[in-house]
């Protein structure tokens, strides 16, 4: 095995002197230098166990002949940031994580990397960095949380947010809310449903960048420590074979990810993150292609919030590989793509067994014949918008109603909790897009309030912001162009009729073209003037949601 960049030559003696200052031995200096990107912190429940994962990765790297060196990555907890100014700082961290990891990895000439993310923007940010740096890289996440148990039923964070709505509606007591508060999130790990973190960790397996079980083995299982050791060993094997992220992250791999997304019923945030990761590889994911894949891919998993199963249940049923193996029965997966194991995806999933047909339905008995996400288009969203179709009640797949318009999440949540939203309404929340927010906040508080008040089968919500993976109901986000950029959503008025037809991928503001042009001449676009710091920089550089909210080059 070749040594690292710094191990030979008089010209590298100054760098070796600094390695000596670290207490590194000559033997360590002569081995490949493996950066371990640790997302450990003490504020995110999904990250509080990552120190143990990192130690296991280090053991794996050492066993396989490498020298592990740890450096950090930040992470924001979307649940803690939800419903206030903090949520403006969630999506924006994706690019901070990618940029800072690129800087650390290239500045120190690491030979290989092991990424240890878990929650929300941490996973896509590190995938973006992996594509940029393009040295042998393996992902191993901190793992999902176990489901909570309240009144004899499994529960999760989405239940907690909905409990607040139920309390506002008078259908739940304060004592009930406190019970949820104490029991909904019982362990460390990423929240227990198919929310954004777990969606992206599962899709990391599909993309070929993580080992089997990366998305589903619970955080508290010792099996995850074994997985971390194997990740450390796997990256050394990749180094020897010179397998790099861009060998793995191909157009076919991204098509696999979108297909698995449809089957699993992943978070709509995947429609921001997959295009952004693909962009780093010089690959473009067209949103129209998403509907093509959705049309041929059955939705075979209903995990929370779409159903009453949780990540631990998917793990016991056979995990992501069992889902992929099911999809091969209709030739829906490109099996020839390379993975971090040094084998093809087809080789990896061969023999994976679906152990529970209630959790992973067979293709001949799906929840629906079409995928879990739909991309809509119409005069309200000329550049498209996104909905998690698998979490929409059947009676809301087609809906028509009057608009109730709000220029911020705070305005909307105040009115929703006051009981002034009625069955049939279409709540419109604007100026919450990537640039207009800025930061494209998740609208879990409004959607949870609507669901908790029992209106999720009667009320739709449309926004140029986005939704948590924990959201259920007719929640349509990523409306593009966004309001601050003069998109049609900026000109909607209270009482305008909006028609939603998810099966036919359409969304229509029922006013004439002439009326729209008239409004554009008379209504002024709202521009926030109090934005400072990183958010100001971000708002000036970020693309629209339909392009993945990427930082424009």
* Residues tagged active-site: 468
Half-sphere exposure of 364 (CA within 13 A, CB side): 1
Tokens of 527: 């521009």
| H helix and E strand count, the chain | 21, 14
Distance, in Å, from the CA atom of 301 to the CA atom of 298, rounded to the nearest integer, reads 9
Cα–Cα dist 545/187, whole Å: 33
Residue written as tokens 């670290």?
22
List C-alpha distances in Å: 65 to 6, 34, 429.
Answer: 17, 10, 54
Give the chain's end-to-end CA distance (angstroms, integer). 38
Q: Are 256 and 206 in contact (CB under 8 A)?
A: yes
Kindly tell me the burial class for residue 420, based on how many C-beta atoms sit within 10 Å of its own C-beta (0-12, 13-18, 19 or more).
exposed
3-state secondary structure 34-74: EEEEECCCCCCCCCCCHHHHHHHHHHHHHHCCCEEEEEECC
Is residue 423 packed enough to be buried (19+ CB in 10 Å), middle (13-18) or exposed (0-12)?
exposed
Query: Given the structure tokens 């907890």, which residue do they identify?
Result: 77
3-state secondary structure of 296: helix
Cα dihedral sign for 385, 381, 415, 436? Answer: positive
**Does residue 479 contact residue 485 with C-beta atoms inside 8 Å?**
no
According to DSSP, the β-strands at 374-378 and 381-387 are antiparallel
Q: Any residues with CB less than 8 A from the CB of 151 and at least 6 apart, and which?
A: 179
Tokens 């990537």 map to which residue? Answer: 434
Whole-number Å distance between alpha carbons of 218 and 311: 8
H or E segment to which residue 88 belongs = none
């Amino acid at each position: 095995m070749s040594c690292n960049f710094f191990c030979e030559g008089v010209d590298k003696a100054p760098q070796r002197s600094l390695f000596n200052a670290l207490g590194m031995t000559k033997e360590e200096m002569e081995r490949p230098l493996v950066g371990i990107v640790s997302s450990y912190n003490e504020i995110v429940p999904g990250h509080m166990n990552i120190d143990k994962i990192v130690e296991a990765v280090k053991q794996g790297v050492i066993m396989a002949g490498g020298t592990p060196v740890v450096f950090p990555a930040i992470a924001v907890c979307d649940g803690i940031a939800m419903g206030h100014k903090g949520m403006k700082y969630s999506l924006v961290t994706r690019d901070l994580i990618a940029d800072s990891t690129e800087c650390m990895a290239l500045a120190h000439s690491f030979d290989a990397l092991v990424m240890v993310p878990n929650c929300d923007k941490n996973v896509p940010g590190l995938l973006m960095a992996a594509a940029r740096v393009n040295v042998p890289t393996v992902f191993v996440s901190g793992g999902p949380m176990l489901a909570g148990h309240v009144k004899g039923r499994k529960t999760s964070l989405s239940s907690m947010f909905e409990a607040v709505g139920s309390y506002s509606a008078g259908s739940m007591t304060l004592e009930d809310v406190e019970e949820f508060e104490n029991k909904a999130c019982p362990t460390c790990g990423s929240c227990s449903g198919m929310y954004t973190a777990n969606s992206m960790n599962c899709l990391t397996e599909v993309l070929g960048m993580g080992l089997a079980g990366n998305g589903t083995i619970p955080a508290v299982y010792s099996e995850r420590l074994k997985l971390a050791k194997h990740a450390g060993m796997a990256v050394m094997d990749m180094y020897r074979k010179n397998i790099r992220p861009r060998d793995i992250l191909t157009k076919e791999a991204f098509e696999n990810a979108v297909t698995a997304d449809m089957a699993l019923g992943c978070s709509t945030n995947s429609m921001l993150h997959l295009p952004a990761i693909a962009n780093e590889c010089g690959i473009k994911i067209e949103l129209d292609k998403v509907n093509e894949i959705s049309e041929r891919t059955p939705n075979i998993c209903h995990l929370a919030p779409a159903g009453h199963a949780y990540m631990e249940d998917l793990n016991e049923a056979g995990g992501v590989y069992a889902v992929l193996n099911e999809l091969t029965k209709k030739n829906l997966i490109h099996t020839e793509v390379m993975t971090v194991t040094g084998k093809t995806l087809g080789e990896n999933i061969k023999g994976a067994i679906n152990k529970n047909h209630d959790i992973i339905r067979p293709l001949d008995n799906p929840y629906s014949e079409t995928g879990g996400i739909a991309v809509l288009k119409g005069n309200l969203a000329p550049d498209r918008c996104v909905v998690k179709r698998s979490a929409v009640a059947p009676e809301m797949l087609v809906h028509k109603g009057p608009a109730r318009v709000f220029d911020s999440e705070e305005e909307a949540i105040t009115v929703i909790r006051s009981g002034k939203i009625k069955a049939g309404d279409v709540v419109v929340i604007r100026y919450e897009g990537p640039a207009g927010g800025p930061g494209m906040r998740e609208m879990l508080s409004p959607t949870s309030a609507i669901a908790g008040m029992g209106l999720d089968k009667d009320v739709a919500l449309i926004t140029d912001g986005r939704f948590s993976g924990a959201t259920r109901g007719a929640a349509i986000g990523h409306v593009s162009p966004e309001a601050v950029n003069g998109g049609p959503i900026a000109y909607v008025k209270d009482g305008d009729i909006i028609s939603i037809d998810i099966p036919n991928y359409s969304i229509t503001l029922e006013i004439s073209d002439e009326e729209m042009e008239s409004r554009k001449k008379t209504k002024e676009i709202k521009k926030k003037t109090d934005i400072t710091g990183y958010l100001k920089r971000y708002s000036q550089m970020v693309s629209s949601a339909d392009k993945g909210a990427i930082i424009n080059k």
